Amino acid sequence: MILVLGAAALCAPWVRAADCDKACLEQIAAAYRAAYLRHDMSLAPFAKRVRYSENNAEMTFPDGTWDTVTQEVDTPLVLSDPATGQIGIYTSVLQRQTQGFLAVRLKVRDRHITEVEHVIATLRNVSAPPVPMGDVLQYHRDPALAAPVALGERLSRAAILQLADGYFSTLQYNTGEIRGTRFAAGAVRHENGVMWTDLEQGFRSGRYRYNNRVRDRDCFLVDEERGFTMCRGFIDHKGVLDTYTMTDGTPVKSNYQEPQSWGFLEAFKISRDGIHAVEATFSAVPYYLRSPWTARPDPPYDAAKVTPRAAPTTDRASK
């Protein structure tokens, strides 16, 4: 199903809201999607000055896919965090015939959008080296992702952030050790529209040893009702690891024979059982690129030579 939002979707009460609660933020999210699809800034509550980036390149707003998007495909996953004024959107789009998986972060202040961050995956952006890329016309997000987590199953903000950061610590220089996170039975991951199952076993196999760093991690949004956190970061491959052995003794040749990085916006649905689902949009970036949104970048390090990074003990979401 292809959805193209019209002006009828814009008759929302956010313009009259005294403050921006969860409903307000999600109405702004709908207005943003409509404005984006129609290339019309007047259809959403933008501040006079808007910072904007696409695939970690900051540019004048609007530009990039704001000029080329033609359709939205399927139903998006929308996340919101009134405590930080942050919105997250995962959706699928067309730029005429070009398919893309799009992740969006919006910052709202005084009921106006002040920041827009896009990461979009297209075949051009993920082709070297190849990364899985689904067909947006066939991909359908599970509506259960947007369902609230039962009150008795919810974790605190700090605990949600801890498990997400532990996931990244486990992914970084993956040796088969689970570092500071846990997975619910049947946990699945979607990256650029492609699904992986049995996440814990994948990590315990040590398959991802070539991921040298997962750096500049920032989980800027926590949707406590849905049990989600949304995070930005980069995965670096130094290109020096040629062959390695998985935990079952299987020899493997690394996918990465030169320095390479992925930039991502990745979200985790979490309850007391652990991580249930992961939704991720990845795009290739120049090696060791830094995001214009990273306030406190990590110091240089080689994860193969240092103690694995510990999970945080406090709420690190952006204020």
List Cβ neighbours of 203 (8 Å cut-off, separation of 6 or more).
170, 171, 174, 176, 178
What are the distances in angstroms from CA 49 to CA 84, 85, 136, 162, 216?
19, 17, 32, 34, 26
HEC profile of 29-80 = HHHHHHHHHHCCHHHCCEEEEEEEEECCEEECCCCHHHHCCCEEEEEEEEEE
- pLDDT for 311 equals 41
What is the torsion angle, in degrees rounded to the nearest 10, for the CA atoms of residue 117, residue 44, residue 51 and residue 294? -40
Give the pLDDT score at 18.
42
pLDDT given at position 127 = 72
pLDDT in the model for residue 5: 41
pLDDT at position 4, please?
39
Q: Dump pLDDT digits (tens) for 210-238.
A: 999 999 999 999 999 999 999 999 999 99
pLDDT at 132: 81
Among residues 87, 119, 116, the alpha carbon closest in space to that of 103 is found at 119
Q: In this structure, which amino acid lies at residue 195?
A: M
Write out pLDDT tens, residues 16-45. Answer: 334 899 999 999 999 999 999 999 999 999
What pLDDT shows up at residue 125?
Answer: 83
Question: Would you give per-residue pLDDT tens digits along the chain (319 residues)?
Answer: 334 343 333 434 434 334 899 999 999 999 999 999 999 999 999 999 999 999 999 999 999 999 999 999 999 999 999 999 999 999 999 999 999 999 999 999 999 999 999 999 999 888 766 678 999 999 999 999 999 999 999 999 999 999 999 999 999 999 999 999 999 999 999 999 999 998 999 999 999 999 999 999 999 999 999 999 999 999 999 999 999 999 999 999 999 999 999 999 999 999 999 999 999 999 999 999 999 999 999 999 999 998 655 444 334 444 3
273 CB-near residues (< 8 Å, 6+ apart): 153, 182, 184, 185
Q: In degrees rounded to 5, what are phi and psi of residue 283?
A: -145, 140
